[in-house]
């Protein structure tokens, strides 16, 4: 096992937010960090990136053509003007206490009528109140974006929220097109309360875990760790 000192100069908001999960596993986090958060055999379908980009374009087209944000986004409140979201390489801030720079790139940012910020993230999935076990992850993720914006001097954030683009999966005659088919999406709006004070604690805990010379114990019942142990057992057999 590695014994040399290991530091992480930067971490994405999405990776840091893992610490907020109720089933967070320190051992998995330690290994992911040592691998540069590039998990083996992990494939992210590009269709989700395409839908995400399409969602942003729809908002952009709506604002340009109708001079106002889409009505489904206005359910959040009095959104005024859209802000061009900085690239993650620029939307970054170094935390002096942990020595780790937090970076990210939210899907949408707006200036609210009172001058504060609204930070929104898109999710291409069906929202269900009972099954939303990722709510703690999303809360920390939006809180991380808010923390960066504040430290970069972009202003206070008064609104953070999620936009679930819920696909209509019932096919009808109207779904048919000459060269294929179309699928409709309904926007489900969800406000998310965030806490700026927890971000610094997450960064310090990330530094502590990542800096350990050997991996910490796994969380009880972690299935990923069970699979890793099975792989190691096969190597040693």
Assess if residue 5 is contained within a domain: no
Strands 176-177 and 157-167: unpaired
Short-list 183, 144, 189, CA closest to 162: 189
Residue 191 falls within a domain, yes or no?
A: yes
Residue 3 is assigned to a structural domain of this protein: no
Asked if residue 227 belongs to a domain, the reply is yes
- pLDDT tens digit sequence for 53-89: 899 899 999 999 999 999 999 999 899 999 999 999 9
Q: How far is CA 35 from CA 29, 32, 84, in A?
A: 10, 5, 32
Residue 63 lies in a domain: yes
CATH value at residue 167: 3.90.320
pTM of the model: 0.90
Number of domains in the chain: 1
**Structure confidence at residue 61 (pLDDT):** 94
- Which stretches of the chain drop beneath a pLDDT of 70? 1-5, 129-132
Question: What range defines the domain where residue 130 resides?
Answer: 10-236
pLDDT number for residue 132: 65
Q: Does residue 2 belong to any structural domain of this protein?
A: no
User: Residue 123 has what pLDDT?
Assistant: 87
4 within domain boundaries: no
pLDDT, one tens digit per residue, over 133-160 is: 788 999 999 999 999 999 999 999 999 9
pLDDT for 225 equals 94
């Amino acid at each position: 096992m590695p014994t040399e000192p290991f530091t992480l100069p930067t971490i994405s908001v999405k990776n840091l937010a893992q610490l907020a999960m109720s089933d967070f596993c320190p051992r998995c986090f330690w290994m992911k960090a040592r691998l540069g958060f590039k998990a083996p055999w992990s494939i992210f379908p590009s269709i989700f990136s395409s839908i995400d980009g399409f969602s942003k374009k729809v908002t952009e087209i709506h604002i340009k053509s109708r001079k106002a944000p889409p009505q489904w986004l206005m359910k959040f409140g009095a959104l005024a003007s859209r802000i061009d979201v900085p690239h993650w390489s620029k939307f970054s801030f170094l935390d002096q206490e942990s020595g780790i720079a937090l970076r990210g790139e939210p899907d949408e940012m707006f200036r609210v009528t009172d001058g504060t910020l609204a930070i929104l993230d898109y999710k291409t999935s069906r929202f269900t109140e009972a099954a939303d076990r990722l709510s703690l992850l999303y809360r920390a993720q939006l809180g991380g974006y808010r923390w960066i914006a504040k430290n970069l001097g972009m202003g206070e954030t008064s609104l953070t929220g999620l936009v679930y683009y819920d696909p209509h999966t019932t096919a009808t005659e109207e779904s048919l097109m000459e060269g294929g088919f179309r699928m409709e999406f309904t926007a489900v709006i969800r406000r998310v309360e965030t806490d700026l004070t927890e971000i610094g604690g997450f960064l310090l805990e990330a530094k502590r875990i990542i800096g350990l010379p050997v991996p910490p114990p796994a969380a009880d019942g972690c299935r990923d760790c069970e699979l890793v142990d099975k792989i190691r057992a096969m190597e040693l057999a």
